[in-house]
Every structure is written in structure tokens, then in C-alpha cells.
């Protein structure tokens, strides 16, 4: 039996609770604040995403605990924000370099085709994503 879709007001309240708790947890610091809002928007705009009120409630508890003291929750959230910020920065930097150095990139692509494909390329964050997924499953959270 499929669960009923949540009401729009329920989604809106969940978004606002997560945003408020998250901003308090990162103490409104600039790189973390923009990363947090971007990931939260991405999560709520995901068409494949599911809504679980209990997971949202536990995540708000987690974020409130991160805001209250500099314990384990604070360090986890700090590292999450840092990794997502670095990934976004890395992606934007790569795209910029590709536009500026188009000829050099084309040359590198031709050389890469000649060599063996790099098996590590594209799997740098696989372990990180699995760890976050296991944390979410064991604690009933919805961190991204």
C-alpha cells in the first residue's frame, strides 16, 4: 500500500524547520550557509525524493544538537558542508578551465583515449556517499 502524498503545507513547514535548524547549526557562516541552502533546495526539488516526517523530525533534532554544542553532530555537519562546498568548487573550476583552455582539453582527451581508462576517476566520493547513507539509515536521518 502506497503512502499518501504529504500536503504542501507539511512540506513547507518541514523545509522551514530544516532550514532554520541548519542555519543555526552552521552559525550563519557564509560558505556553509550557501551550501546548506543549496543542498536543502536540491533535496526538496528532487522528483524521486520521498517525504518521511519522522526522518525530518530526527534530522531537526540532529541539527539542533549540532547548534547547541561543538560535539560529534557539529563536526559531522561541518565536514558535510565542507565536502559539498569543495565538490561544487571543483566542478565549477573544471568547467571554467574547459572553456578557457579548450585546445588543451581537446588534446588531453585524445591522449586519454589512447591510454587505459582511469578506474578511480568518478569514484572519489563513493565511500563518502556510502558513509552518509549508512548514517542516515542507522539514525533515521535525511542528511545529504
Quick check: is 17 in a domain? yes
Q: What is the pLDDT of residues 42-55, one digit of tens each?
A: 999 988 888 999 99
Give the chain's radius of gyration (CA, Å): 19
Q: Does residue 1 surpass a pLDDT of 50?
A: no
Quick check: is 5 in a domain? no
Nine-digit cell string for 136: 542516515
Query: What is the domain range of residue 57?
Result: 13-44+53-80
Burial class (CB in 10 A: 0-12, 13-18, 19+), 24: middle
Quick check: is 3 in a domain? no
pLDDT at 6: 79
Quick check: is 21 in a domain? yes
Task: Quote the number of domains for the chain.
Answer: 1
Amino acid at each position: 500500500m502506497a503512502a499518501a502524498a504529504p500536503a504542501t503545507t507539511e512540506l513547507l513547514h518541514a523545509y522551514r524547520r530544516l532550514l532554520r535548524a541548519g542555519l543555526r547549526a552552521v552559525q550563519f557562516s557564509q560558505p556553509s550557509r550557501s551550501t546548506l541552502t543549496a543542498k536543502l533546495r536540491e533535496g526538496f526539488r528532487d522528483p524521486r525524493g520521498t517525504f518521511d516526517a519522522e526522518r525530518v523530525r530526527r534530522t531537526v533534532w540532529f541539527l539542533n544538537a549540532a547548534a547547541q554544542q561543538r560535539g560529534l553532530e557539529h563536526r559531522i555537519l561541518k565536514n558535510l558542508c565542507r565536502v559539498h562546498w569543495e565538490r561544487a568548487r571543483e566542478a565549477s573550476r573544471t568547467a571554467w578551465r574547459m572553456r578557457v583552455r579548450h585546445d588543451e582539453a581537446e588534446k588531453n582527451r585524445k591522449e586519454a583515449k589512447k591510454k587505459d581508462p582511469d578506474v578511480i576517476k568518478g569514484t572519489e566520493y563513493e565511500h563518502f556517499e556510502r558513509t552518509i547513507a549508512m548514517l542516515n539509515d542507522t539514525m533515521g536521518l535525511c542528511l545529504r
